[in-house]
């Protein structure tokens, strides 16, 4: 899978207001990565959380 490497900048004013939308974005390059490696940590994180949420509630 090919991913883009972005350079993003956000002004301090926006950050202090809690606005995290970028002022500018620039594609710096591209990198070939293994899909399983790239998404693996997200899958593990959400898998644990979803399993906790789906557990039957004991009375």
Task: Enumerate residues 6+ apart whose C-beta is below 8 A from 47.
Answer: none
Work out the burial of residue 22: count CB atoms within 10 Å of its CB; fewer than 13 is exposed, 13-18 middle, 19 or more buried: middle
8 lies in a domain?
yes
23 lies in a domain?
yes
Number of domains in the chain: 1
- From CA 31, how far away is CA 20, in angstroms rounded? 25
For 5-57, the pLDDT digits (tens) are 999 999 999 999 999 999 999 999 999 999 998 899 889 888 888 888 888 76
Q: Is the pLDDT of residue 58 over 80?
A: no
What is this structure's pTM? 0.52
Contact 22, 6 (CB under 8 A): no
Contact 33, 1 (CB under 8 A): yes
Q: What's the pLDDT band for 59 if we cut at 50, 70, 90?
A: low
Which pLDDT value is given to residue 57? Answer: 66
Quote the domain boundaries for residue 39. 2-54
59 lies in a domain?
no
45 lies in a domain?
yes
């Amino acid at each position: 899978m090919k991913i883009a490497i972005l350079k993003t900048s956000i002004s301090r004013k926006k950050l202090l207001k809690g606005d995290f939308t970028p002022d500018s974005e620039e594609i710096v390059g591209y990198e070939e990565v293994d899909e399983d490696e790239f998404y693996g940590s997200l899958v593990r994180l959400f898998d644990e959380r979803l399993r906790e949420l789906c557990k039957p509630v004991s009375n």
